[in-house]
Amino acid sequence: MAGTIKVNDTLLLGPNSVGEFVPLPVKSIHRKRMPVSSVRCGQTASFALRKVTKRDVRKGMVMLDSRMNPVSCMMFEAEILILHHPTTIKPNYQAMLHIGSIRQTATLVSMTKEVLRTGDRDRVMFRFIRLPEYIRTGTRMVFREGRTKAVGTVVNVIPQSTLSQQRGKLKDKTNRACLFLVRRGGAKPITNSKMTGKKQDNKL
């Protein structure tokens, strides 16, 4: 964290449920129940934001400078160390992730090893199961589930926009393949002349 926030500054609050960051002006700032004109990095304060309700704010959201152009993510890569696990960890394993103020369950999508046990290190891919989050590379993380404990570091963040583009390309390829199959072996439309001929044959 770095920088200074002043009254009437416009900040980006997010990510919301669809991964977007909404620009909001800071109406007032309170520190230790006293109004102040600004706060800097390392200080704790409360902000009154315009055009926002309690329902629009959740744990894990951040306020950033509007010039940063931030992006949210649903998937990211991390290098992890398994501190303790009673059995083995395989793909599709789910655990609660703690990354800064983020608290959300994620699925272990893929890993380089077949299984992970206590003391193993590996580079794995996680996917959040509910909402997109704002994560930066190099951030420390912890994940736990029951007696399972593991720590790690975020090494690569996959922006949500990239995933949407990949899904759009895959859908486009699928549609093109279906169209190609229809053109190659699809049923031909029945013309009116053929229908008329069939009706006349039936009458005869």
End-to-end CA distance of the chain: 88
Give me the amino acid identity at 189. Answer: P
Residue 201 has a pLDDT of: 46
Distance between CA 166 and CA 109 in Å, rounded? 17
Residue 134 has a pLDDT of: 97
Residue 108 has a pLDDT of: 97
Which parts of the chain register pLDDT below 70? 1, 162-204
Reading the block at residue 50, the tokens are 């315009």
Residue 162 has a pLDDT of: 52
Query: Which pTM value belongs to this model?
Result: 0.74
Q: b/e for 7-33, b at 16 or more Cβ within 10 A?
A: bebebbbbbbeebebeebebeebeeee
Q: Which domains does the chain have, with CATH numbers?
A: 4-68 (2.40.30.10), 75-158 (2.40.30.10)
Burial zone of 157 (CB within 10 Å; 0-12 exposed, 13-18 middle, 19+ buried): buried
Residue 101 has a pLDDT of: 92
Residue 121 has a pLDDT of: 98
Residue 2 has a pLDDT of: 76
